[in-house]
Amino acid sequence: MSGDDDFYESIADRFEGLDNAEDVRRRLSVVFDECLGHRRLVGRWTLDAGCGYGPFSEAAVRRGAVVISVDLGERLVARTIVLEHTRAPERAVKELARVLRVDGLLVLTTPNRVWQGPVRAASRLRLRPFHGVENFVAWRSLEHFCRAAGLDVVLHLGFHPWPFQLGRGRAAATVEKQLSRRWAARLMVNQAIVARKPPPTASATRLDKPAVRD
């Protein structure tokens, strides 16, 4: 593990306190309400890759899922593979697709590449407590990674129209409601994608087209 990777081990005991509670609540809502559409998880095997201190694992367990939690930091897992904290996001998506069962869903939330510069600047200015590997993925690249791994993109949406540190009020909720699934979503801070693993016989008939409306 490199020095950059060691950073996440070093903050394991205080990771939860460093996280933004409002951001966590919004991401939980995006994953379980919007991406999964209140899908029943009772008895379903669920992999929480990049579990951190476990908020998504905990939410899945409350919904009856059988959860396996993994992370780059061993101490984080002990407390309970975030895509943007891997050195090869495409390879990470390919591995997640490999272990996904047929008709299973891959749900990913990750920062948008268009915000990589401002985020790095904020880290250099010590306006945020994180550093280490931060490898944001572009909107179209994330769809490409999923399709290259043999997955069908079912849904791709944006959230956080501006940095959540600036506050999330009615204005942000309104913008997301109107634009989160349109072209402007590609400019939002975060993105969420849902991809399905089709049966082998269906892979040749997939349509390679964007999952957002123009």
- Would you place residue 213 in the very low, low, confident or very high pLDDT band (cuts 50, 70, 90)? low
The share of the chain scoring above pLDDT 70, in percent, equals: 78
Residue 138 domain-assigned?
Answer: yes
Q: Residue 55 falls within a domain, yes or no?
A: yes
Q: Is 214 within a domain?
A: no
The predicted structure's pLDDT at residue 110:
93
Q: Quick check: helix, strand or coil at residue 55?
A: helix
Question: What is the number of alpha carbons within 13 Å of residue 3 lying toward its C-beta?
Answer: 0
Q: How far apart are CA 23 and CA 13, in angstroms?
A: 19
- Report yes or no on 177 lying in a domain: yes
Region 158-165: mean pLDDT is: 89
pLDDT of residue 214: 53
Selected residue with higher pLDDT from 21 and 129: 21
Does 193 have pLDDT greater than 70? yes
Read off the pLDDT of residues 70-114 as tens digits, 9 standing for 90 and up.
Answer: 876 555 444 447 677 788 899 999 999 999 999 999 999 999 999
- The answer to the question of residue 161 being in a domain is yes
Contacts 24+ apart (CB under 8 A), 29-33: 30/109, 30/157, 30/159, 30/192, 31/56, 31/59, 31/107, 31/109, 31/192, 32/59, 32/60, 32/63
CA–CA dist 65, 42 (Å, integer): 5
Domain interval for residue 97: 3-205
- Residue 15 pLDDT exceeds 60: no
Residue 213 inside a domain? The answer is: no
Q: pTM for this one? A: 0.79
Q: What percent of the chain has pLDDT over 90?
A: 55
CATH number at residue 27: 3.40.50.150
How many other CB atoms are found less than 10 A from the CB of residue 58? 16
For residue 97, tell me if it sits in a domain.
yes
Query: What is the predicted pLDDT for the residue at 18?
Result: 54
Average pLDDT taken over every residue of the chain: 82
pLDDT at 63: 94
pLDDT at 6: 57
pLDDT for residue 22 is more than 60: yes
Q: Domains in the chain: how many in total?
A: 1
Q: Give the highest mean pLDDT range of 3-17, 34-48, 155-169.
A: 34-48
Encode pLDDT of 40-77 as tens digits: 999 999 999 888 778 899 999 999 999 988 876 555 44
Does residue 126 form part of some domain?
A: yes
